[in-house]
Amino acid sequence: MKKLSKLFAILALFAILGGALAACGKTADKPEVEKPVEEEVVADEPKEEVPSEKGAPFTIGISNPFISGEYRTQMIDNLITINEEYKALGLTKDLVIENFDTDVAGQIEQLENLINAGVDAILVNPGDAVALNQILEEAVDMGILVFSIDQEIEAKGVINVGHNQYEFARISAEWLAENLQEGNVVQIEGFIGHPANNLRM
């Protein structure tokens, strides 16, 4: 139980800091926007508490299906930086990173690769709200801690870490309307089927 608690704490900080720092990574030249809802952790009760037998240092896997955006690039860079700090403390090993543009089938393959690599925990930024549930639940059943970062999904045993995407979009739209006041606005949609995109639209 103690090993599981330590790994859980490490993963929670990874998930929160990796996404939060990426979102705030380059704000010096941008106007202030009303602060969105604080990061929140929404956790389903894991089916079994099966911590890694070997304890620390833990091996953590990352699954990211989009690399075309600056946010995702910064997110991966932040996770690598954070991991170096934990490695120096003897808590983690090198990250196992699956990071390339792909579809649902490709992300399932990413997750299978991480499971086969024997990781103790997975941070996944899901490209679909439901299609990854089966493979993620399989990982949970194997005793792997799984955190969904930035996007909320309903896979049993997966811990969701992220902000309120609907409120994020609402606050951003209100700020734009108040500051622009008049003019033409073009709405650009993100990746179709992506959980955050669905909520923001």
**pLDDT tens for residues 47-56?**
444 444 567 8
What one-letter code names the amino acid at 91? L
pLDDT at residue 126 in the model: 92
pLDDT of 82 above 70: yes
pLDDT of 200 above 70: no
Quote the percentage of the chain above a pLDDT of 70. 64
Residue 24, Cβ density class (10 Å: 0-12 exposed, 13-18 middle, ≥19 buried): exposed
- Has this prediction a pTM greater than 0.75? no
138 or 183: which leads in pLDDT: 138
Can you tell me the distance from the alpha carbon of 55 to that of 53, in angstroms, rounded to the nearest whole number?
A: 6
2-200 belongs to which CATH class? alpha beta
Look at the chain and count its residues. Answer: 201
Longest dimension (CA), the chain: 61
DSSP letters, 24-89, are: TTT-TTS------PPPEEEEPPPS-----TT-SSB-EEEEES--SSHHHHHHHHHHHHHHHHHHHT
Tokens found for residue 190: 């993100």
Cβ count within 10 A of residue 148: 25
Quote the percentage of the chain above a pLDDT of 90. 39
**pLDDT tens for residues 113-151?**
999 999 999 999 999 889 999 999 999 999 999 999 878
